Amino acid sequence: MITTLTKPLRELLKTKEVDATNAVWRLHSRATVFTLAFFTILLSARSYFGEPIDCIASIASDYRKSMNNFCWVLGTFISRDPKFTFASWDVIEIGAQMGHIPQHERLYQKYYQWVPFVLAIQAFLFSFPKHLWRFFEGERLQTLCKDLTSVLPPAEWTAQRRADTSAFLAKESPGK
C-alpha cells in the first residue's frame, strides 16, 4: 500500500545512471516545480473545489455569480478600525452604503487573484536553470561516463579507445 502511494514520488526523484546533479538540485528543479504546479492547478480548478470568493450581498441567487465575479475583479476590503467588530449586511454589501467605512480605514485584499499566476511563474523560474543546464551541457557527461558505470574489461581498454577518450576530453574542455 505504502509503496503504491509513494511510487510517483520515487519516480520523480529517481536518478539516472549518470547524473551530474545531487539530491538538493533534484529537489530544487523537480520536486519544487511539481509541488508548485500541483498547487497552481488546485487553485485554478475553482469549479471543482468551490468558489474562490463569496461576497456577502443580499441579492437574488440569480445574480450571485455576477456579484462574486464583481468582487473577484474589484477586490474586497475589511475595516482597519478595531471597534468595527460587528458588520451589518448593509455595510458590507457591495454598492449599498459603502460610505459607512471611511476610505482611509479600508484594507483592500486583492492578492488572491494573483496567487495561481505567481505560483506558475515560480514553477517556471525553478525549472529554468535545469533546462539551461541541459542546453549548455548537451549530454556531454553522459557520453563521457557511459562506459565508466559498468565493468570495462582490460582487453577493451585499447590504445585507440584511450586516444578517443583523450581527444573527446580535449575537444570538450572549457579552457580551449
The per-residue pLDDT of the chain, averaged, comes to: 75
- The pLDDT value given to residue 169: 78
* 136 pLDDT above the threshold of 70: yes
- Nearest-CA neighbor of 119 among 42, 56, 49? 42
Cβ pair 94, 131 in contact under 8 A: no
pLDDT tens sequence across 5-26: 777 767 766 666 667 777 788 8
Q: What is the pLDDT of residue 33?
A: 92
Residue 85: pLDDT band (50, 70, 90) is low
pTM: predicted TM-score of the whole model, two decimal places: 0.58
Three-state helix/strand/coil letters over the chain: CHHHHHHHHHHHHCCCCCCCCCHHHHHHHHHHHHHHHHHHHHHHCCCCCCCCCCCCCCCCHHHHHHHHHHHHHHCEEEECCCCCCCCCHHHHCCCCCHHHCCHHHEEEECHHHCHHHHHHHHHHHHHHHHHHHHHHHCCHHHHHHCCCCCCCCHHHCCHHHHHHHHHHHHHHCCCC
Domains of the chain, residue spans:
61-112
Query: What's the pLDDT tens digit per position in 160-174?
Result: 888 888 888 788 777
Task: Reply yes or no on whether the pLDDT at 59 is more than 70.
Answer: no
Mean pLDDT lowest among 12-16, 27-31, 88-92? 88-92
Checking if the pLDDT of 132 tops 70, the result is yes
More confident residue, 111 or 138: 138
pLDDT at 158 over 70: yes
Q: Spell out the residues 6+ positions from residue 87 whose beta carbon is closer than 8 angstroms to its own.
A: 79
